[in-house]
Structure 1
């Protein structure tokens, strides 16, 4: 475990490789329903396993009080040592998700650096880094 309280950070490519090579690994997208709908979602169909979609916060920014319960409903159980890879927009909310999952005995839990869209670039827009910019599979929801 990292000093930050979760298994560590992965680049988008490292996350994809973990998902491809470990059939137990699960990608959990913790963005909001609005983000999934308007921006797109990672497409893990190539791994033979769907991603899980569990909001960390709702569209108003309120924390999801059922977050851990929803993770368990997606097939994660305390102590099962199933790798879980958390993805958000830019790699910030997913750190909180990885920490909470670890505290709940789920994982090892990883954070995807730069998330799905990356941080805001010099042009004031997102999308120059992250899952999608790296060329990893994604689709509109």
Structure 2
């Protein structure tokens, strides 16, 4: 599965991501949204799986500049353990794909690295007809566990 650019980043729908997390205790979910989004919008809740999500901002509010230490922060949090799979989630699936590709690039040539997945649709999904998120697609709309701080 590995190439010169690292393992391929695959895409999963939120329900597929949940199923993967349920069935693989070594898989981790990384929420790459901003601190404000975690606080005001909520986060996926993996407590029924006896796990927590990992939160690392990919882009920092308010200017949304890319976090240059993202991969380093992830490595520090993992502290040498290598998960079997790493899933990335953001609001709609765009920032999380960028974060997954940054990790992919850091694993270039590593044939033993984890499988990488982007959660398509993200946490809140697409805008509906009223320009609201969270009801049309995404983690929340699929009725997956989440909590608000």
Q: Which ranges of structure 2 fall in alignment gaps of 5 or more residues?
A: 108-112
Aligned residues: 140
Equivalent position to 2:114, from 107, 118, 127: 107
Query: Structure 1 stretches of 5 or more lacking a match?
Result: none
**Is the contact between residue 28 and residue 83 of structure 2 (CA under 8 Å) also seen in structure 1?**
no
For the pair 1:140 / 2:144, whether they are aligned, the reply is no
Q: Which has the higher strand share?
A: 2
TM, length-normalised to structure 1: 0.90
> What's the counterpart of residue 27 of structure 1?
29
State how 1:1-141 maps to structure 2 within 5 Å: 6-59=8-61, 60-75=63-78, 77=80, 80=82, 82-105=84-107, 107-127=114-134, 128-141=136-149
User: Which stretch shifts more, 66-75 or 19-28?
Assistant: 66-75
Runs of 4+ in 1 over 2 A off after TM superposition: 1-7
Larger Rg: 2
Greater relative contact order structure (CA < 8 Å, 6+ sep) = 2
Q: CA RMSD in A?
A: 2.1
TM-score (norm 2): 0.86
Q: Structure 2: how far apart are the matches of 1:114 and 1:77?
A: 30
